[in-house]
């Protein structure tokens, strides 16, 4: 089992370009797995990747999502400088934009554990542990993926969205943690298709103008490495 993970920080990158790059890495792992099944005498290790990225304003709709949860038409999208894509992850609609840390682990779970439920819970745990370092109590909300604050109260709000795709135990897509995010962009959707639930950002919760995003990334990697027992390249 290859537990080495190649870390790449793509900086600010167009959503579609990043999606294409994810697909390329994803397919590369699947191709190796396919070849390994055909040639048992010459087994190749499958690589693992963890991509950090920040996207320009974009709304993405998961394969089970409802387009009615996007509250803007094409002209309004353009006026806000935003794009829209219907994509192949799970979940409904979400927003990505500046000030948000997006993480895309592209892993062969055969290298770690073959349990998608456990994988999602581990990703949530990474974020829960990360924001705990800032004094915030992140929680799960029953039946709703992601990381939430003040679950079970009228003030419940989501600080991190989660949506993944997996095929033959290879993962893509991932999580989006609001760090210094303009939450006004969430007003243009019904986030994750859940009415009446608010969203949160780390800087707002801490009452500061800006949180050090590089510091947050290092914390995320620390807890990811710990939980997945990974080695970074």
Q: Annotated binding residue at 161?
A: yes
pTM score, whole prediction: 0.94
Distance CA 121, CA 163 (A): 12
Amino acid 192: pLDDT: 56
Amino acid 62: pLDDT: 85
- Please say if the pLDDT value at position 166 is more than 60: yes
Question: Model confidence at 195, in pLDDT bands (50, 70, 90)?
Answer: low
Given 192, 200, 202, 220, the catalytic residue: 192
pLDDT, one tens digit per residue, over 134-152 is: 999 999 998 888 999 999 9
Instruction: Identify the CATH class of 4-232.
Output: alpha beta
Q: Annotated binding residue at 162?
A: yes
> Which of 170, 229, 211, 217 has the alpha carbon at shortest distance from 51?
217
Active site residue 192: yes
Q: Annotated binding residue at 62?
A: no
Task: Name which of 56-70, 130-144, 189-203 the model is least confident about.
Answer: 189-203
Q: Annotated binding residue at 85?
A: no
Give the mean pLDDT of the chain: 93
Per-domain residue ranges for the chain?
4-232
Place of tokens 């969203």: 199
Amino acid 118: pLDDT: 97
């Amino acid at each position: 089992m290859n537990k080495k993970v190649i870390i790449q920080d793509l900086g600010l990158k167009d959503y579609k370009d990043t999606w294409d790059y994810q697909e390329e890495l994803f397919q590369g792992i699947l191709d190796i797995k396919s070849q390994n099944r055909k040639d048992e005498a010459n087994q190749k290790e499958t690589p693992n990747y963890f991509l950090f990225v920040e996207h320009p304003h974009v709304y993405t709709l998961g394969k089970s999502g409802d387009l009615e949860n996007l509250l803007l038409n094409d002209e309004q999208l353009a006026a806000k400088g935003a794009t829209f894509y219907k994509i192949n992850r799970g979940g409904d609609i979400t927003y990505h934009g500046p000030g948000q840390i997006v993480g895309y682990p592209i892993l062969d779970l055969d290298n770690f554990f073959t349990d998608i439920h456990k994988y999602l819970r581990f990703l949530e745990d990474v974020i829960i542990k990360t924001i705990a370092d800032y004094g915030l109590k992140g929680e799960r909300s029953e039946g709703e993926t992601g990381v939430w604050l003040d679950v079970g109260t009228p003030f419940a709000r989501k600080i991190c969205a989660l949506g993944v795709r997996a095929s033959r135990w290879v993962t893509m897509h991932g999580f989006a943690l609001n760090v210094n995010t303009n939450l006004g962009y969430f007003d243009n959707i019904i986030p994750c298709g859940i009415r009446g639930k608010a969203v949160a950002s780390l800087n707002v919760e801490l009452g500061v103008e800006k949180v050090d995003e590089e510091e947050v990334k290092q914390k995320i990697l620390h807890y990811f490495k710990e939980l997945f027992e990974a080695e970074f390249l």
